[in-house]
């Protein structure tokens, strides 16, 4: 008996230093082996935003070793769902992919206090996405 394919999700924002990193970390934590996760940026920063790292640490997730990655057409093509967060026209479009656009405040230049509500909203949306994908929350 074959098991259903594991869905693949790509989170994209401009710098891959904040929103997309948080979303990928939450999906990885909450979805476990039930989902494949990627994140990328159309113009990646040199490092993940330190306030984002701190806010995620408060949520029990360490993303301090993560690095921003460049968005490639291959990453989009190999994903079932592409979640954009302000990447605008820089995100390649491929027919047959499911695209979601999450409008969220940009944590760039913000302190941890301003990042917390963004983090919490991302977690809420990730939980909703897992439910839509039929993936059981592992935690």
- 4 assigned to active site: no
Q: Judge whether 56 and 22 are in contact, CB under 8 Å.
A: yes
Q: Catalytic: which of 87, 115, 122, 135?
A: 87
Q: Judge whether 80 and 9 are in contact, CB under 8 Å.
A: yes
Per-residue pLDDT of 26-46, as tens digits, reads 999 999 999 999 999 988 999
Does the reported pTM lie above 0.75? Answer: yes
- 49 assigned to active site: no
- 98 assigned to active site: no
Question: Do the strands 36-41 and 81-84 form a parallel or antiparallel pair, or are they unpaired?
Answer: unpaired
Per-residue pLDDT of 56-91, as tens digits, reads 999 999 999 999 999 998 998 899 999 999 766 666
């Amino acid at each position: 008996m074959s098991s259903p394919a594991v869905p693949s999700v790509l989170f994209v924002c401009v710098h891959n230093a904040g929103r997309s990193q948080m979303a990928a970390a939450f999906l990885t934590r909450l979805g476990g082996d039930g989902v494949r996760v990627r994140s990328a940026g159309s113009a990646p920063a040199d490092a993940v935003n330190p306030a984002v790292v701190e806010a995620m640490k408060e949520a029990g997730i360490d993303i301090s070793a993560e690095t921003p990655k460049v968005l490639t057409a291959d990453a989009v093509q190999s994903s079932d769902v592409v979640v954009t967060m302000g990447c605008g026209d820089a995100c390649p479009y491929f027919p047959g992919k499911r695209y979601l656009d999450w409008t969220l405040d940009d944590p760039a230049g913000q302190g941890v206090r301003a990042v917390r509500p963004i983090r919490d909203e991302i977690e809420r949306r990730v939980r909703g996405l897992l439910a839509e994908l039929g993936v059981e929350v592992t935690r």
